Amino acid sequence: MLRLVALAALAVLFHSNSARADAAKRPNIVWIVVDDMSANFSCYGETLVRTPHVDRLAAEGTKFAKAFVTAPVCSPCRSALITGCYQTTIGAHHHRSGRGEMKIRLPGEVVPVPVLFRRAGYYTCNGGHNVTGNRLAKTDYNFEWDPAMYDGNDWAGRQPGQPFFMQVQLHGGKFRGQGPTPTWQARARRELGSNTDPAAVVLPPYYPRDPVLLQDWADYLDCCRFTDKQVGDVIARLEKENLLADTVVFFMTDHGISHARGKQFLYDEGIHVPFVVRGPGIPRGAVRDDLVEHIDMTATSLALAGIPVPAWMQGRDLFAAGYTAREAVFGARDRCDETMERIRSVRTGRFKYIRNYMNDRPHLQPCRYKDDKAVVQRLRELHAAGRLDALTERLLFAPTRPREELYDLTADRFEVNNLAADPRHATTLEQMRKRLADWEQRTGDRGREPEPLAMYDSDMRVYLGGAKKENAELRRNIELNRRWRSEGK
């Protein structure tokens, strides 16, 4: 009996050591996730600033030219990313939802991906800019989750030889703040050696060349430069610790630039993001032009780590043998803060179709977060003074929106010429409309039903209780949204 017990113990020890050895052979996985930033890096064609460190990742790895988030605002995007599922499928589609007394729980077998990495023997960590002590970096998940799925906020805490899954959260476009940011400009001069010249900025055609907007965009480009510097710091640390050769580094942002037609909206300004992968087994210097969604990063990471991709995960392994490219990518925007909304989109290589389900509301309907931005305030001032051109007035300040929008992206990359009413594109319109409807049905889009008012009120109590200044504007917006909803708008 003692001999059998000893043999059993040896078997357990051998299995444990074998599993640890297998885990040690797996690559480390590092996600660099940046706030509020579009693909304004020199490897993506930006000419006004240089970004050598992101460029290096692209040169030594694979750059995805057509990567898109499934939600153009932080918390739904991050909820989707950390599960590899559409936020609309798991019920996490409303921004900053489930934060009050009413909670959201993941359906079925769905779990956050750090849980899967931990089960496989990985050390899981979530850190980043100015994260100290035992704090975790930004999570922003709209569902209930166990903080124990993270072992810490830095890979330094792992056991010798243990592979790690690390998320590096960077502040990105948020450095420039809501309004004029002389403090940020001074920091950029100090740490980067100069500031981007506002006079050299090239804006999309629907934004006026106003000094406030030009300075804001210049400050944003300095955010891109600073983000690149931080990426270089991560690479340098991996090299110093002799980890880079065994680490797959992903670089992406959680949505596009925070502007009047970017963040929160489904135009490419809001959903097109940089997406670069570098590491062992990743093709070097490759550029992929196929359509990918940001949730593909989750499935790809598992596959590279040798962890089975669960059947419930909707993301795809981008480097799988026999990989079949997506024919289309999908996006969804729902309530953002206090502002009710429902927009859906489908994008192929050539066309973008947008469905505005609440089209009786204006594009820039009241939202305290957006209305605190200097650029939005300036646009509203110019609108009130009658100083905007016809294009900007139509796109940003029309009292209602079209029910459907259709854009030919090969001829109209800024999405300003809506072809939905053009009979020459009637067949394309019908095809895109059907694609979107099929996706909503197939993925169980939970945004098809209005958010229960009890849930809305639960979350709004958190907003009202947590505000640092007078809540009069927020209260007005909440009352307006409730009234518009009662009127069917």
> pLDDT tens-digit profile of 258-283?
999 999 999 999 999 999 999 999 99
pLDDT confidence bin for 469, thresholds 50/70/90: low
Same domain for 100 and 170, yes or no, is yes
Could you tell me the CA-to-CA distances from 454 to 142, 225, 231, 461 in Å, in that order?
Answer: 16, 43, 42, 11
Predicted confidence at residue 470, as pLDDT, reads 66
Give me the mean pLDDT over the 295-315 stretch.
98
pTM for this predicted structure: 0.94
Which three-class secondary structure string do you get for the chain? Answer: CHHHHHHHHHHHHHHHHHHHHHHHHCCEEEEEEECCCCCCCHHHCCCCCCCHHHHHHHHHCEEEEEEECCCCCHHHHHHHHHHCCCHHHHCCCCCCCCCCCCCCCCCCCCCCHHHHHHHCCCEEEEEECCCCCCCCCCCCCCCCCCHHHCCECCHHHCCCCCCEEEEEEECHHHHHCCCCCHHHHHHHHHHHCCCCCHHHCCCCCCCCCCHHHHHHHHHHHHHHHHHHHHHHHHHHHHHHCCCHHHEEEEEEECCCCCCCCCCCCCCHHHHEECEEEECCCCCCCEEEEEEEECCHHHHHHHHHCCCCCCCCCCCCCCCCCCCCCECCEEEEECCECCECCCEEEEECCCEEEEEECCCCCCCCCCCHHHHCCHHHHHHHHHHHCCCCCHHHHHHHHCCCCCCEEEEECCCCCCCCCCCCCCHHHHHHHHHHHHHHHHHHHHCCCHHHCCCCHHHHHHHHHHHHHHCCCCCHHHHHHHHHHHHHHHCCC
Predicted confidence at residue 17, as pLDDT, reads 37
CA quadruple 84, 89, 90, 93: dihedral positive or negative?
A: positive
Q: What is the CATH number of the domain that holds 96?
A: 3.40.720.10
Q: What is the rounded CA–CA span in Å between residue 478 and residue 465?
A: 14
Question: What is the rounded average pLDDT for all residues in the chain?
Answer: 94
pLDDT of residue 92 exceeding 60: yes
Q: What is the rounded CA–CA span in Å between residue 256 and residue 60?
A: 24
Q: What is the rounded CA–CA span in Å between residue 203 and residue 197?
A: 13
Number of independent structural domains in the chain: 2
Same domain for 311 and 350, yes or no, is no
Same domain for 313 and 365, yes or no, is no
Structure tokens that stand for 429 in this block: 């319109």
Residue 1, in any domain of the structure: no
Predicted confidence at residue 120, as pLDDT, reads 98
pLDDT confidence bin for 304, thresholds 50/70/90: very high
Same domain for 433 and 364, yes or no, is yes
Strand partners, 249: 30, 278
Angle (nearest 5°) at CA 325 between 322 and 326: 140
Give me the mean pLDDT over the 79-84 stretch.
98
180 vs 183, more confident = 183
326-352 pLDDT per residue, tens = 999 999 999 999 999 999 999 999 999
Full residue range of the structural domain in which residue 447 is found? 343-486
Residue 107 burial class via C-beta count within 10 angstroms: exposed 0-12, middle 13-18, buried 19 and up:
middle
Same domain for 249 and 101, yes or no, is yes
Same domain for 290 and 414, yes or no, is no
In this structure, what are the phi and psi dihedrals at residue 41, rounded to the nearest 5 degrees? -125, 150
Predicted confidence at residue 365, as pLDDT, reads 97
213-235 pLDDT per residue, tens = 999 999 999 999 999 999 999 99
Structure tokens that stand for 52 in this block: 């050598």
Predicted confidence at residue 130, as pLDDT, reads 83
Same domain for 92 and 233, yes or no, is yes
pLDDT of residue 466 exceeding 70: no
Same domain for 275 and 363, yes or no, is no
Same domain for 384 and 295, yes or no, is no
pLDDT confidence bin for 468, thresholds 50/70/90: low
Predicted confidence at residue 129, as pLDDT, reads 81
Give me the mean pLDDT over the 175-182 stretch.
84
Predicted confidence at residue 117, as pLDDT, reads 98
In the chain, the percentage of residues whose pLDDT exceeds 90 is: 92
Calculate Rg over the CA atoms of the chain. Answer: 23
Residue 3, in any domain of the structure: no
Residue 315's CB is within 10 A of a number of other CB atoms, namely 26
| Among 7-16, 47-56, 373-382, the least confident range | 7-16
Give me the mean pLDDT over the 483-487 stretch.
97
Q: Please state the separation of Cα 265 from the chain's center in Å.
A: 12
121-133 pLDDT per residue, tens = 999 999 998 888 9
Q: What is the rounded CA–CA span in Å between residue 54 and residue 200?
A: 22
Could you tell me the CA-to-CA distances from 351 to 204, 406, 425 in Å, in that order?
Answer: 19, 7, 11
Nearest Cα to 165, choosing from 41, 316, 279? 279
Same domain for 262 and 408, yes or no, is no
Residue 5, in any domain of the structure: no
Residue 330, in any domain of the structure: no
Residue 14, in any domain of the structure: no
pLDDT of residue 24 exceeding 50: no
Residue 369, in any domain of the structure: yes
pLDDT of residue 8 exceeding 80: no
Angle (nearest 5°) at CA 66 between 60 and 72: 115
Task: Give Cβ neighbours of residue 350 (< 8 Å, ≥ 6 apart).
Answer: 408, 409, 410
Residue 20, in any domain of the structure: no
Could you tell me the CA-to-CA distances from 180 to 32, 184, 424 in Å, in that order?
Answer: 27, 9, 45
Same domain for 388 and 453, yes or no, is yes
Same domain for 77 and 111, yes or no, is yes
pLDDT confidence bin for 20, thresholds 50/70/90: very low
CB neighbour burial string for 260-289, b if at least 16 within 10 angstroms, e if fewer:
bbbbbbbbbbbbbbbbbbbbeebeeeeebe
Predicted confidence at residue 2, as pLDDT, reads 38
pLDDT confidence bin for 181, thresholds 50/70/90: confident
Residue 120, in any domain of the structure: yes
Predicted confidence at residue 363, as pLDDT, reads 98
Q: What is the rounded CA–CA span in Å between residue 323 and residue 354?
A: 28
